[in-house]
Amino acid sequence: MKITGLLLVAGAALSSTAQAITWKKADTIVGNDFYNKFNFFNGKDPTNGLVNYLAKEDAVQKNLTYVKDDSFVMRVDTVEIAPSGRNSVRIQSKALYENSVYILKVKHFPTGCATWPAFWTLTWNLTNWPSGGEIDILENANDQFDYNLGSIHVDKSCKLTQNEQSGTIVYDECYAYNSENAGCRIAMNGTSTTTWGDKLNKMGGGIVAMERDFSSSGKGVRMWFWDANSNLPSDVKTIGDTVNPDNWGKPAAYFNIPNCRDSFDPHSIVFDITLCGDWAGNTYEQTSCAAQYGVCSKQVRDFGSSFNDSYWDVTGLYIFSDDGNNVGTTTIAPNATRDVTASATLSPRSADQQDGSPVMVSTTGITAVFAAVLAVLIYYAA
């Protein structure tokens, strides 16, 4: 009876540690904060786009990035003739995040033919990609779809199952090299909410949120999208010190992925706008863009004004973690790609961890609680 009672206590203790995380604000990035908290990538586009990514000083000087009324703008150069590719912007956060919630508020999303914009997170260890994982939160190309696409890329076979979401599963295999590098993909097309295109921008933009929670009680990756006319959850409408995604209703996309959660490293955050490239270039003829401009490269070279809407106007990025902190800062060079070495500064190792592996922020106390309860059980059993 003693042991039975203690087992009940143990179960209660373990159950209490499996409660949902309280997400606490770790970062607020508004306006000029983007210049301080992101690196400007100025290497060759790894997706083979017809763009020249500029360093921060050059992007500012050419007015491809600026702050206006606390909004942060990143855009493609609209000079009419660009014989050697168009200048553009790609930035990557200096901070790294593990289990986190991201809320991005946007006035204007990049749209238009040849345009391939994305807001995404990826592993800090770029040399080993797709090991470490990638999560695409906002993505489209050539405005081929009138809805946003969420995707995940990992280094092993990992299948999606139908979950409680409003969107539609397009590809269910998350392995990065399956389905022409598409990974597993969900179309955010299941409600009346506008999630892409000119209509969304004319409404005043929208808000996207993503929860990544790979703790023992976590739900994997969930994404929500609200246009400017949506009835927002109170903690999304007014950003405070905490958020609770469980109160946000059915997600637009839900990647439970229980079999590949161990594939994800700490991630940094990326915004970019590329042109043509592996996706927009290869699907160009499947859209109305080809009838307007012929081929993708010709549009990029000769029609600068066609990129007038190819810009981000971001009013704020808010990140929440389980303890209100990030897990470290990256030292990735501004021109790093998946093909060059990158390193990161993570949480300090404890005295008993001498193998050089990074320390991750703990999200539960299950192991400690279980050990304590087990010790009591052994004592009474004896």
- Confidence category of residue 325, pLDDT binned at 50, 70, 90: confident
Q: What is the pLDDT of residues 299-309, one digit of tens each?
A: 999 999 999 99
Count of CB atoms situated within 10 Å of the CB of 62: 14
For residue 8, pLDDT over 50 is answered with: no
pLDDT of 333 reads 52
Averaged confidence pLDDT in the chain: 85
The domain over range 24-363 is classified in CATH as 2.60.120.200: yes
pLDDT of residue 1: 39
Please report, for the chain, the start and end positions of each structural domain, with discontinuous segments joined by +: 1-18+365-382, 24-363
Q: What is the pLDDT of residue 357?
A: 33
Q: Has this prediction a pTM greater than 0.75?
A: yes
The whole-number average pLDDT for the span 290-318 is: 98
Instruction: Report, as an integer, the average pLDDT of 197-215.
Output: 97
Average pLDDT rounded to a whole number, residues 123-145? 92
pLDDT, greater one: 375 or 174: 174
